[in-house]
Amino acid sequence: MTSPQNLHERLSVTRAPRSTPALILALSVACSGGGDAPTTDQGISTWTTEVAYQLAEVAEAGVFFETPVVRADPERNRVVVVDAGSAQVSVWTPEGVLRAVEGRVGEGLGAFPTVAGLFIGEDGTLSAVDGGGSRFAYFAANGEHLDTQLGPGTSLEYEGLSVKLAPPRDGVYLGTAEVTPHLEVGATYGPFAGQPPMLREPVLRVRRSDTGQWLEPEPLLWLDIRNRVFAAELPDGGTTFAGQRFGDYDQVRFEPGTAIVMRTSGGPGSVELIEVDGAGDTVWHRHLRLEPRELTRKMVDEVVDATVEIWASFRTGATRDQLRDIYDEALYQPEYLPAAQGRPIPTSSGEIWFRTHEVVDTLRVHYAVRRGDMDEPPRRVLLPEWLRVNDATATHVWGTRRDAMDMQHVVGRRLVELEEE
């Protein structure tokens, strides 16, 4: 086991110019041709949506939405919802007819305390992973539970860091060694106390031995996590951690056997999408250059004001003006907004979707990029601010919304291309 000191020597890097690549591929890289030259926004089509479907809770079947995640399966004309709160899988027609219900809350094998992700295979089978990456459940195409396998739980570490994995493909698990907020800013307690901030987070490959034992995790690449969180010291002696609202750190999304990384630190308007497989090869790399958007003082003030209102509700021993100064000082404020925010979303349409900071007439701007393609212009999609995108087909976008009573709903909206003026 590597010591905390040696781990910091590997994970901590001196702050480099933004032109320095944040992704360091530790193993062999077979990079597909092209993709390094930025793509302009010329030729991008613009789309909007209209109301189409909404799935309603079915009390008599015990189906309630607490924290739903939805995946579309157009090949079989169905929608699958996994509820992270109830650990329940339900299968629907797009029109809202309930076909099957499977899953339960519990602690035994075959039961999940939480559910973090749902994946649909080419043959229609389903796989789900719990919130800690400790259980992987498998379902038939009709939703029937087939098997549950235990993940590594807390038994697997990478140089002192806990490991969280996605479901495997061909015996290969991908995931991350999680750098916690207090490690990112420089730990003041625990085995890493006194060490400098950790500025990178590894994406790992994990396998089992022939006897079923977990092998030592192998780093495939490193994520730049600078500007992901901050720690603010409060007058009462407490410390609060929060995410950087304008951070340009790397994001990653996992599918079985695949990691999709999104970088936004390559300059104003830059978005890079990089797909790495379980062998450590880069199978796709697309660089988009969108219109840069400046970060204004008004934007900063809106974020500061909203956060100060929350902080002021706690006994911090500080006035609102003091809290404002503390947060304003801790907030990362680049000249330009990162061109994308949140994690990339692989969809059933064969695209990668991502959300931006841009708003047009109250509609949030998203982009949909053809996965694996090097030249096709992306789609620009205007969506209601309340919609949290989970998946998309060629004709619809699926996601969730909260109503005025804070109840969750699963919705599908029809995609409509706007005519050019």
Tell me, yes or no, whether 307 lies in a domain: no
Average pLDDT, rounded, for the chain: 85
Q: In the numeric block, which tokens belong to residue 89?
A: 């899988």
Report whether pLDDT(388) > 80.
Answer: yes
Query: What pLDDT does 310 receive?
Result: 87
Over residues 380-387, mean pLDDT: 96
Tell me, yes or no, whether 313 lies in a domain: no
Tell me, yes or no, whether 375 lies in a domain: yes
Tell me, yes or no, whether 348 lies in a domain: yes
pLDDT tens sequence across 179-229 = 999 999 987 777 778 889 999 999 999 999 999 899 999 999 999 999 999
3-class SS string, the chain: CCCHHHHHHHHCCCCCCCCCCCCCCCCCCCCCCCCCCCECCCCCEEEEEEEEEEECCEHHHCECCCCEEEEEEHHHCEEEEEECCCCEEEEECCCCCEEEEECCECCCCCCECCCCEEEECCCCCEEEECCCCCEEEEECCCCCEEEEEECCCCCCEECCEEEEECCCECCEEEEEECCCHHHHCCCCCCCCCCCCCCCEEEEEEECECCCCCECCCEEEEEEECCCCEEEEECCCCCEEEEECCCCCCCEEEEECCEEEEEECCCCCCEEEEEEEECCCCEEEEEEEECCCCECCHHHHHHHHHHHHHHHHCCCCCCCHHHHHHHHHHHCCCCCECCCCEEEEEECCCCEEEEEEEEEECCEEEEEEEECCCCCCCCEEEEEECCCEEEEECCCEEEEEEECCCCCEEEEEEEEEECCCC
Query: What pLDDT does 363 receive?
Result: 97
Highest mean pLDDT among 16-20, 27-31, 186-190, 404-408: 404-408
Report whether pLDDT(420) > 80.
Answer: no
Query: What pLDDT does 20 receive?
Result: 33
Under a CB-based contact definition with an 8 Å cutoff, are residues 102 and 144 in contact? yes
Over residues 235-259, mean pLDDT: 91
Query: What pLDDT does 105 receive?
Result: 54
pLDDT bracket for residue 62 (50, 70, 90): confident
pLDDT tens sequence across 85-123 = 777 888 999 999 998 887 665 555 556 666 777 889 888
Report whether pLDDT(236) > 50.
Answer: yes
- b/e map 373-410, b = 16+ CB within 10 Å: ebeebbbbbbbeeebbbbbbbeebbbbbeeeeeeebbb
Q: Are strands 135-139 and 126-129 parallel, antiparallel or unpaired?
A: antiparallel
Over residues 243-251, mean pLDDT: 96
Vertex 341 angle, CA 335 and 347, to 5°: 150
Tell me, yes or no, whether 82 lies in a domain: yes
CATH code of the domain in which 212 resides = 2.120.10.30
Query: What pLDDT does 112 receive?
Result: 66
Q: Which residue has the higher pLDDT, 258 or 24?
A: 258
Tell me, yes or no, whether 58 lies in a domain: yes
Under a CB-based contact definition with an 8 Å cutoff, are residues 278 and 257 in contact? yes
Under a CB-based contact definition with an 8 Å cutoff, are residues 395 and 414 in contact? yes
What whole-number distance in Å separates Cα of residue 107 and Cα of residue 328? 43
Over residues 338-364, mean pLDDT: 96
Query: What pLDDT does 234 receive?
Result: 81
pLDDT bracket for residue 350 (50, 70, 90): very high
Residue 324, phi then psi, degrees to nearest 5: -60, -45
pLDDT bracket for residue 134 (50, 70, 90): confident
Structural domain for 394, as ranges: 4-14+22-295+334-417
Query: What pLDDT does 53 receive?
Result: 94
Query: What pLDDT does 130 receive?
Result: 76
Q: Are strands 229-233 and 239-243 parallel, antiparallel or unpaired?
A: antiparallel
Tell me, yes or no, whether 172 lies in a domain: yes
| Domain count of the fold of the chain | 1
pLDDT bracket for residue 8 (50, 70, 90): very low
Report whether pLDDT(6) > 50.
Answer: no
What whole-number distance in Å separates Cα of residue 56 and Cα of residue 50? 18
pLDDT tens sequence across 141-178 = 877 778 888 888 778 899 999 999 998 999 999 999 98
Report whether pLDDT(32) > 50.
Answer: no
Using only C-alpha atoms, the chain has a radius of gyration, in whole angstroms, of 22
Residue percentage of the chain with pLDDT more than 90: 56
Report whether pLDDT(4) > 80.
Answer: no
Tell me, yes or no, whether 323 lies in a domain: no
pLDDT bracket for residue 40 (50, 70, 90): low
Report whether pLDDT(22) > 70.
Answer: no
